[in-house]
Amino acid sequence: MSVFAILPAAGTGSRMASAIPKQFLKFNGKELIVYSLEVFQNNPNIKSIAVAASKEYIPLVKRLQKKYSLTKLTSIVEGGKERQDSVLNALASLPLQSKDLAAVHDAARPLLTQKILNSAIKLALLKSSAVVSVEGRDTLIRFPYKEEIESSYKNPSDSIEYIDRKDVYYVQTPQIFNASLLLSCVRRASLNGMTFPDESSLMKHYGFSVHLSEGSLLNFKVTIKSDLEVIKQIIG
């Protein structure tokens, strides 16, 4: 049984409004994706890593592979339009066996610790799945008609619904599942024209159990410009 790491890195980072996808922005002279890759490179439980990148960034990933001696990065493939397309291409490039696990991790989530990764792998070995997450801590509201209300000057409180935070978890990555089953489900979803935001929602849709593993607020995904300042402070 082997554990493979999958990093979908074909996103354009449109919410960042940057000329360069966020995963390739530099911090202390090192691309963000390298910080993520090194976590898996340095973990003894990980056999190899696959990265799915946009066609124009594949040469850069290959240069980074050599520059930082990422010996476990054995597969660099072209990503797809959606996250699950990139995951599909990465999984299909690996020599998977029936009991192997795939740990899918966001390329722009660079502060994953070895402790969190090891705990998730341990849980996946026991339960066949592990999704890193953190408990909701803030007051949460649902505001389904925000744009409609703002345009009509209605009272926003008429539409706001409070959500009990004790029942809410923020889903992070890595998300670990049996690699062959994940590949099968991703292919099935693609053939049916279905798109899921992450692996846990896809696997849940097809009837597989999702088990939560403890994450950290520091294990956040760089998504908007303000996240860059946080990363600079932490990495710097």
In this structure, is residue 135 part of a structural domain? yes
Q: What is the CATH number of the domain that holds 37?
A: 3.90.550.10
Domain residues for 212?
3-230
Q: CB count, 10 Å around CB of 183?
A: 20
Q: Is residue 51 part of a domain?
A: yes
> Which residues have C-beta within 8 Å of that of residue 32, sequence separation ≥ 6?
22, 23, 24, 25, 26, 107, 108, 110, 222, 231
Q: At what angle do helices 32-41 and 114-127 cross, to 10 degrees?
A: 60
pTM of the model: 0.91
Residue 236 lies in a domain: no
Alpha carbon distance 156, 161 (integer Å): 10
- Amino acid 155: pLDDT: 61
Q: pLDDT averaged over the chain?
A: 92
Average pLDDT of 188-216? 97
Average pLDDT over residues 156-163: 74
Q: Check residue 177 and give its pLDDT.
A: 98
Q: CA-to-CA distance for 154 and 148, rounded, in angstroms?
A: 9
pLDDT in tens, 69-113: 999 999 999 999 999 999 999 999 999 999 999 999 999 999 999
Calpha distance 218→118 (Å, rounded): 16
Residue 111 covered by a domain: yes
Q: How many domains does the chain have?
A: 1
Q: Which residues is 102 bridged to in the sheet?
A: 4, 177
pLDDT above 70 (res 7)? yes
Q: Answer yes or no: is 235 within a domain.
A: no
pLDDT of residue 143: 77
